[in-house]
């Protein structure tokens, strides 16, 4: 019995409870965790493992064969490329439109709404921004700075984060004085209680259309379609709205 019982559990887990491994853009670290928890409450036999990072890095990892079953990008273009190259099997589907904010700690005394003048405040020596080479929010932040004609003037102050979550941690920890982060992070309780932000006008940067798809690796999972569909459900959409995302077709 000692041998049979564990084997039975292993077999049950393989058939009914395979873990869905998801790579997601770092701006989703609060919203997607909440969505995944809602899903697992409805389907306790399923488990979801979330890995967060920059969309560009996720794109490269999927192409390199990383064992992710779903890919959520903060830039629809990365999902479209993977689809064209055959690394994802479902047509790229938008799930949200992101917004960027200028964020500072409340105890800094800085007022983000004074943008862009606040960037030249004598108390600001370091400005956090996600690396625009592979982080969509960093790209949008750079575009906003260029739109206001100040990118070149403050470039020496910029501190680059690998992704938008790391960028937020720089400001929260005091490693940077102020910086650009996703609205979805600024609205998370952990940051909302210690920070203040100003929403960057959406006409000052490119549209942050975000998309997702099931990977080639994910097609073997029996439960993958169920979670894929849940992301578009009313429950999930309410969570996206809670964290400040705009919804495709409703913007």
Q: How confident is the model at residue 249 (pLDDT cuts 50, 70, 90)?
A: confident
Interatomic CA distance for residues 177 and 130, integer angstroms: 14
> Taking 80 as the threshold, does the pLDDT of residue 228 lie above it?
yes
Average pLDDT, the chain: 92
Using CA of residue 216, residue 22, residue 81, residue 76, what is the dihedral sign? positive
The confidence score (pLDDT) of residue 17 equals 60
Q: What is the mean pLDDT of residues 125-138?
A: 96
Tens digits of residue pLDDT in 192-207:
999 999 999 999 999 9
Interatomic CA distance for residues 196 and 200, integer angstroms: 13
The confidence score (pLDDT) of residue 251 equals 54
> Taking 60 as the threshold, does the pLDDT of residue 5 lie above it?
no
3-state helix, strand, coil in the chain (%, to 5): 45, 25, 30
More confident residue, 9 or 67: 67
Instruction: Delineate the domains of the chain, giving CATH numbers in brackets.
Output: 4-97+208-242 (3.40.190.10), 99-204 (3.40.190.10)
Bridging pattern class, strands 70-73 and 208-214? antiparallel
The confidence score (pLDDT) of residue 128 equals 98
pTM of the model: 0.89
Enumerate residues 6+ apart whose C-beta is below 8 A from 119: 127, 150, 154, 157, 178
> Taking 50 as the threshold, does the pLDDT of residue 13 lie above it?
no
φ, ψ for residue 230 (rounded to 5)? -65, -30
Which strand (E) or helix (H) includes residue 15? Answer: helix 4-16
Tens digits of residue pLDDT in 146-172:
999 999 999 999 999 999 999 999 999
Cβ contact 242:31 at 8 Å: yes
Tens digits of residue pLDDT in 96-115:
999 999 999 999 999 999 99
Cβ contact 161:135 at 8 Å: yes
Instruction: Please name which of 150, 30, 56 lies closest in space to residue 102, comparing C-alpha atoms.
Output: 150
Interatomic CA distance for residues 208 and 200, integer angstroms: 12
Q: How confident is the model at residue 7 (pLDDT cuts 50, 70, 90)?
A: very low
């Amino acid at each position: 019995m000692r041998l049979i019982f564990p084997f039975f559990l292993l077999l049950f887990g393989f058939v009914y409870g395979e873990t869905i491994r998801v790579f997601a853009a770092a701006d989703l670290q609060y919203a997607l965790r909440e969505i995944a928890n809602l899903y697992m409450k409805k389907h306790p036999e399923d488990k979801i493992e979330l890995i967060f990072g920059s969309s560009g890095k996720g794109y490269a990892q999927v192409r390199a064969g990383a064992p992710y079953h779903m890919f959520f990008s903060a830039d629809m273009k990365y999902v479209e490329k993977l689809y064209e190259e055959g690394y994802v099997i479902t047509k790229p589907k938008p799930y949200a439109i992101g917004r960027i904010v200028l964020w500072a700690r409340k105890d800094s005394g800085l007022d983000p709404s004074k943008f862009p003048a606040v960037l030249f405040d004598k108390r600001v020596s370091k400005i956090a921004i996600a690396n625009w080479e592979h982080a969509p929010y960093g790209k949008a932040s750079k575009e906003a700075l260029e739109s206001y004609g100040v990118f070149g003037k403050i470039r020496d102050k910029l501190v680059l984060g690998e992704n938008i979550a790391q960028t937020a941690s720089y400001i929260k920890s005091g490693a940077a004085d102020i910086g650009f982060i996703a609205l979805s992070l600024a609205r998370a309780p952990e940051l909302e209680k210690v920070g203040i932000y100003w929403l960057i006008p959406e006409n000052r940067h490119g549209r942050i259309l975000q998309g997702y798809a099931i990977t080639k690796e994910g097609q073997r999972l029996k439960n993958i379609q169920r979670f894929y569909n849940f992301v578009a459900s009313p429950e999930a959409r309410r969570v996206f709205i809670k964290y400040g995302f705009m919804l495709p077709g409703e913007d």
